[in-house]
Structure 1
Amino acid sequence: MNPKTILVTGATGYKGTVLVPKLLALGHRVIAFDTQWFGNFLPSHDNLSVIKGDVRDTDTINLDGVDSIIHLASIANDPCGDLNPKLTWEVSALATMRLADKAKCSGVKQFIYASSGSVYGIKDEEHVTEDLTLEPISEYNKTKMVAERVLLSYASDMAVQIVRPATVCGVSKRMRLDVSVNMLTMQALKNGKITVFGGDQVRPNIHIDDITDLYIYMLDNPDKVSGVFNAGFENISIMDIAKMVQAKIACEIDVTPSNDPRCYRINSDKLLATGFTPNKNVDTAIIEIITAYKQGLLKDEDHFYNLKWMQREVL
């Protein structure tokens, strides 16, 4: 494998904090670009340049010598996206368009984009595949859909690889405790009680090691894995996730009514057919979160909740 120079946007976020050390271990040079709203937990490394910046300021992003872009930066999740729709469209759509155009003009060969499995909206189909219509229902997934369409228009200029990930779970130094598996596990550990709103809603899931390994797999296979790919391997109801946690931590499950109708399932057969194989699952994530908490490596901190932190520190 030839070492590359890779720009990772959103590099100090939940996924980026796991991805960047893996890229460095493989010998790549990484430019980590992020607003650092939630802090910076990346290790220092001779091949790592950490730049505090905003993707909306595209002119400040130097793409000289960059071989590949892994674009993770966005206003993440529905509640945060709805908090300030203008900011969401500027960051998640407009900045992506401008970065893609700059990448083309700068001769970047590869653009890997983190979209979302939520772009399909609410589907009744048991197998939600990449050829179904996109019917996004929030600002967050509307911007993802628009950004996807723009990026695909550059497919003749560079390798464009779009991932529609499931909800990510598992441990990161820049943890997120506002996503289902992580949140329910932390509730059980800290309170001995899990609160489930509704419970019937289904969520697709992917372990953080598998999604970051997928970005590396795409990096290494720009031709074999081109186009749009779902990435999620376990479609599980919120109640069943709670029961999985309860099987490992003695806790109560308190069910309350919910006005959240969102039900997401995704099918990832197209990705699996390329040869990619996941190595972990929700059960692994729960065990790893419990272990990290008991070892004092993971704490329940405000900056691990995107909405709470953005309301307090960003907006």
Structure 2
Amino acid sequence: MRILVTGACGYKGSVLIPKLLRDGYSVDALDIQWFGNFLPEHENLNVIHHDVRDTAAINLAGIDAIIHLASVANDPCGDLDPKLTWEVSALATMQLADRAAREGIKHFIYASSGSVYGVKDEDQVTEDLTLEPISEYNKTKMVSERVLLSYADQMTVQIVRPATVCGLSPRMRLDVAVNMLTMQALLNGEITVFGGKQARPNIHIDDITDLYLFLLANPQHTGVYNAGFENITILDIAEQIKNSIETNIVVTPSNDPRSYRINSDRLLATGFTPKKTVQDAIDEITAAFHSGKLTNEDRWYNLKWMQQEVLK
């Protein structure tokens, strides 16, 4: 079975691709490689250095399924260049979905975001609640979801709304909550928390990548699924890190209104079971740092790297 993965060299893709290869899939790994390529060489891996916006040039011959991860990731990066964000994260998705349907590809897995709900007061944010995105990033995710669902009568469409992902990847990110705060503690012995009361759902990178494998193997589970298993505040995360690493916590005011808790009961009902936690991510990052396998680099911060290297 041959899988096309877009955004394959990113934070999630760099963990997902080795798992796909391990499980016997052949993989076309497509990525513009703004942040580099950390994928292993493998006889069943074809790495394609390509801009997803040029969808007409993507070779879909022999492709059985698409896992579409490509997007301009996170709110600050999405706001840097809204035109670029809409072209990459929405227009390219729409064009790729249309081509997939026209060319008979039967399975399309889409990485949306738990942030499409916007700011919610409900304790349990389920897939049936209204979507009220507040940034360019999650607006493009909402639009892309709607487009993909319109093809549900032509191919299997599975949409994942992940929580904030945490944990180690060969293409690391140190600008997501758990990873960022853990690195602050390791580098500075101090964590700066802005506000702190904002709730965030979290999912370990091994669990979100295992979920894509699960959906690939279980096309009967169609539609939209939340994927987040620990709804905790930013201050809770900081306190959890403090219990593992000797550090101080400094709380400062914040104008960030984003606060949401997602309910993943629909996903759990499929039989998928998460295996890792926020604490696992903290422990793994700490071990990698102390062993010298993880260092603090500009390329691990999407906004900083895009400003310096991509949009300069």
TM range (shorter): over 0.9
Residue 145, structure 1, aligned to residue 142, structure 2: yes
Residue 286, structure 1, aligned to residue 282, structure 2: yes
Residue 274, structure 1, aligned to residue 264, structure 2: no
Superposition deviation, residue 301 in structure 1: 0.4
Superposition deviation, residue 291 in structure 1: 0.6
Residue 229, structure 1, aligned to residue 225, structure 2: yes
Q: Secondary structure at the match of 1:151?
A: helix
Superposition deviation, residue 140 in structure 1: 0.3
Q: Secondary structure at the match of 1:161?
A: strand
Of the three residues 45, 57, 62, the one matched with 1:60 is 57
Of the three residues 149, 153, 157, the one matched with 1:156 is 153
Runs of at least 4 residues of structure 1 off by over 2 A? none
Superposition deviation, residue 83 in structure 1: 0.5
Q: In structure 1, what is the equivalent of residue 299 of structure 2?
A: 303
Q: In structure 1, what is the equivalent of residue 85 of structure 2?
A: 88
Residue 213, structure 1, aligned to residue 199, structure 2: no
Superposition deviation, residue 128 in structure 1: 0.1
Superposition deviation, residue 15 in structure 1: 0.2
Q: In structure 1, what is the equivalent of residue 24 of structure 2?
A: 27
> What code does the residue aligned with 2:241 have?
V
Of the three residues 14, 21, 42, the one matched with 1:45 is 42
Superposition deviation, residue 106 in structure 1: 1.4
The CA distance in 1 between the partners of 2:32 and 2:190, in whole Å, is: 35
Q: How does 1:127-142 map to 2 (within 5 A)?
A: 127-142=124-139
Q: Secondary structure at the match of 1:162?
A: strand
Q: In structure 2, what is the equivalent of residue 113 of structure 1?
A: 110
Superposition deviation, residue 152 in structure 1: 0.2
- Give me the identity figure in percent: 73
Structure 2 residue runs of 5 or longer lacking an equivalent are none
In the TM superposition, what whole-angstrom CA distance separates every residue of 1:31-83 from its partner, at most 9, and x where no partner exists? 00000000100000000000011110001100000000000000000000001
The CA distance in 1 between the partners of 2:194 and 2:128, in whole Å, is: 31
> What code does the residue aligned with 1:48 have?
L
In the TM superposition, what whole-angstrom CA distance separates every residue of 1:117-148 from its partner, at most 9, and x where no partner exists? 00000000000000000000000000000000
Indicate if the aligned counterparts of 2:121 and 2:260 stay in contact, CA closer than 8 A. Answer: no
The CA distance in 1 between the partners of 2:288 and 2:104, in whole Å, is: 42
The CA distance in 1 between the partners of 2:103 and 2:4, in whole Å, is: 13
Q: Secondary structure at the match of 1:204?
A: strand
Aligned residue pairs, count: 311
Superposition deviation, residue 264 in structure 1: 1.7
The CA distance in 2 between the partners of 1:74 and 1:120, in whole Å, is: 18
Q: In structure 2, what is the equivalent of residue 167 of structure 1?
A: 164
Q: Secondary structure at the match of 1:307?
A: helix
TM-score (norm 1): 0.98
The CA distance in 1 between the partners of 2:120 and 2:260, in whole Å, is: 7
> What code does the residue aligned with 2:36 have?
G
The CA distance in 1 between the partners of 2:137 and 2:260, in whole Å, is: 15
In the TM superposition, what whole-angstrom CA distance separates every residue of 1:208-257 from its partner, at most 9, and x where no partner exists? 0000000000000011x200000000001000000000000000101111
Q: Secondary structure at the match of 2:42?
A: coil
In the TM superposition, what whole-angstrom CA distance separates every residue of 1:150-175 from its partner, at most 9, and x where no partner exists? 00000011000000000000000100
The CA distance in 1 between the partners of 2:57 and 2:186, in whole Å, is: 43
Residue 102, structure 1, aligned to residue 89, structure 2: no
Q: In structure 2, what is the equivalent of residue 258 of structure 1?
A: 254
The CA distance in 2 between the partners of 1:21 and 1:221, in whole Å, is: 19
Q: In structure 2, what is the equivalent of residue 16 of structure 1?
A: 13
The CA distance in 2 between the partners of 1:307 and 1:241, in whole Å, is: 22
The CA distance in 1 between the partners of 2:15 and 2:236, in whole Å, is: 27
Superposition deviation, residue 11 in structure 1: 0.3
